[in-house]
Amino acid sequence: MCLILFSYSDRPDYKLILAANRDEFYHRPTAPLDFWEDARNVLGGRDLERKGTWLGVSGQGRLAAVTNYREPAAENAELSRGALISDYLTGSETPNVYLDRLCNNSALYGGFNLVLGDSSGMYHFSNRENVVRKLEPGLYGLSNRLLDTPWPKVVKGKETFSRILEKPEIDVEAVFTMLNDTTYPDDGELPDTGVGPEWERMLSPLFIKSPIYGTRSSSVVLIDRRDRIVFYERRYAPGTGEPLETRRMTIGMD
């Protein structure tokens, strides 16, 4: 996952409204949004190479999402960051207990950000600052640095998302339209993360398209005040960004 925008406990009708894009190499095999065969209470897409995921929810009202921390000079780690999501969603620990335990071995993973939530609250943790943060109600943005780092896509995404959230009803198609924004910022606004100007520019829009790497799917997750979850996922054709399929699945609906 390379862009996560979420409104936490900021409206009377929803505990959480989350919008996200997953960016990945096109050759990496992926299963679409569904309940997992080996963990039937977990709902999410799945990385078929390492069996983890980038975003998921569970029947116990748990949510987890991960982004990589962009640092091309760092060595590849042995442990899968996607497994952090799977382990949390299939477990029973509260987010703060899980993250406190993770602090002890987080260096075994490549750089990451985790956003975890359940009925006890929402938390953020990155192994590049090693601080467990309980989040206050509000609007947040996360890409491949730390929470609310003002990269152009994070700033623009939060501004657009905020306008969508001002409406009485959540317009899911408007959220997907926001996530599909391929506009490039000015070169002077780009961060310098060590990947070179060409890649910095290619990675800078909310929605990424290139011959080998790009936005594979967009997701919208709504969790209301009764812990009912609606999870949308839209998958795209590699390279072109044309929509292939949109799935809508629920947990806890009457």
Q: Distance between CA 165 and CA 142 in Å, rounded?
A: 18
* pLDDT at site 213: 96
Q: Which residues contact 38 (CB under 8 A, 6 or more apart)?
A: none
Residue 107 — pLDDT band, cuts 50, 70, 90?
confident
pLDDT over 90 at 121, yes or no: yes
> Which one-letter DSSP state was computed for residue 120?
T
Query: Which CATH number is 199's domain given?
Result: 3.60.60.10
pLDDT per residue as tens digits for the range 149-207 = 999 999 999 999 999 999 999 999 999 999 999 999 999 999 999 999 999 999 999 99
Query: Residue 141 sits in which domain range?
Result: 3-251
> Could you give the number of structural domains in the chain?
1
Q: Distance between CA 144 and CA 111 in Å, rounded?
A: 9
* pLDDT at site 254: 55
In the chain, what percentage of residues exceed pLDDT 90?
Answer: 89
Place of tokens 């975890």: 116
Q: Which residues of 176-215 are buried (b: 16+ CB within 10 A; e: fewer)?
A: bebbbeeeeeeeeebbebebeeeebebbbbbbbebeebbb
